Structure 1
């Protein structure tokens, strides 16, 4: 029989697989939803009354509608084709209708989310603390891939993540006191804001997006101001190594930039699993 901790890990791990499947939808659709909203706002600016003309018969597009389809042939995904990981293996990574390849990233996101949820269940059991940290992990997973794909860190995720960290500190669901969490959020935002403006004044270029400020503020809210230096050091070191590797391979995207959000998220997940003090040992400091 499974021990209580192992049973909790299994239950949350299964939930994590299901949440991971939904995260794939969020990663794909949320940036498109933002682009549609921006287009609507731009259209309204061109109208004398400031109201964009209605788009007749425009199909609804959100996280729930329309149902998922194959991007190659339009085949509507059935429920038995959408079972986390298992469906991918059963279909051998191909669309059931047209045999077009399905990205390996889909099951990998599901597995990563399942493993992180399982760890939360093993660490905290079936408690509100485990639910809070599982939500933290899911948000960072989504932000990682959205930022990598689009260089966007949506306010729809970063700002609730920051407020959740502050609320978690107030409810004693995290190890940070409320005071440390507040100053962590302030320090996280202001530190990257100052770097951004210093770099812009010196070079005339923008070195990072405003979403990075908000994500670092969210991490500060969850871990307290004491974790800011270890996390920014880890994110910077890994980001520099990955950036150099990509540049060496000649695969830098247009503009020659690498998004910083994924490395901040990795630092946050590392701090969750090992503690922020362990990050300094990990990078040799």
Structure 2
């Protein structure tokens, strides 16, 4: 197969999957909130029984069809072609002409580029497929956390187990012992930071989802990569936080979710390697 064919095909698959990731990013937090509401209602009623079937409309990653949030127009298949439909519609709903966020095609393009990179570096192999799956999960987690400060267990935990399995099957260049140790050390390190900060200030500096995401990164890259990843994510997070504060763009409460910066560091480690990341961070500080 031509040297450019595999990245091109993988990039096209990434664009298509990126379109689906937009649905995941938008709907998964809502699905979680509905589940919590149902559990709260069941607890308040003193029963563990699930809602009676048919009492509420189905809402999941497939149902209902995508609609314009402004006018309810059902998105047709030809309006859902990655990137091209956005350009053809000039970034507006075909019915009410309300502007569509540019983030939709950006997620599609980002996923496509990451898939093309994986195919270029590892080809159509188990390794390439593993890192493409890693990339898709990371994209979804970054945008969900930025929007909602949630890192769903439905993504972080499978990502962690996938890293351990990929290591055990020799699909990634990380020994199983380093992968298991990385998962444990990743979780415990942020767990200890969380409790130290909470005991010192009485506030929660991060959520449990961050622990699980860092554990997943430890599983994929090994314990040796944890220091470079946490250093880069902390430096970038601090710079972004300072920038948002300077321009008065901080959210209510003055917080910045940490997950997107862990994701950025994780994807950087995939592309350049953890050691190159560490050297970059050290160079920033003149070390």
Q: TM-score surpassing 0.5?
A: yes
Matched, 1:218 2:194: no
Give TM-score scaled by structure 2 length.
0.96
**Equivalents in 2 of 1:262, 1:176: separation in Å?**
24
User: How far apart, CA to CA, are the structure 1 residues paired with 2:239 and 2:260?
Assistant: 13
Query: Which residue among 2, 18, 22 is the counterpart of 1:20?
Result: 18
Residue by residue, what CA displacement relative to the aligned partner does 1:97-140 show, whole Å, maximum 9, x if unpaired? 11110000000000000000000010011111111100000000
The SS at the match of 2:4 is: helix
Task: Structure 2: give runs of 5+ residues left out of the alignment.
Answer: none
Residue correspondence of structure 1 range 1-285 to structure 2 within 5 A: 4-51=2-49, 54=52, 56-283=54-281, 284=283, 285=287
SS in 2 for 1:74: coil
CA distance in 1 between partners of 2:280 and 2:266 (Å):
14
Deviation at 1:56, TM superposition (A): 4.7
Structure 2: distance between partners of 1:264 and 1:174: 20
Unaligned runs of at least 5 residues, structure 1: none
Whether the aligned pair in 2 keeps the contact of 1:45 and 1:51 (CA below 8 Å) is no
Task: Give the CA deviation at 1:280.
Answer: 1.6
Instruction: Give the secondary-structure state (helix, strand or coil) at the position aligned to 2:239.
Output: helix
User: What is the CA deviation profile of residues 41-79 of structure 1, one whole-angstrom value per residue up to 9, with x for unaligned ones?
Assistant: 000111133435537541100000000000111110011
3-state SS, counterpart of residue 54 of structure 1:
coil
Seen in structure 2, the aligned counterparts of structure 1 residues 105 and 236 have a Cα distance that, compared at 3 Å, is same
Question: Could you tell me how far 1:282 is from its partner in structure 2?
Answer: 2.2
Cα distance in 2 between the residues matched to 1:122 and 1:50: 50
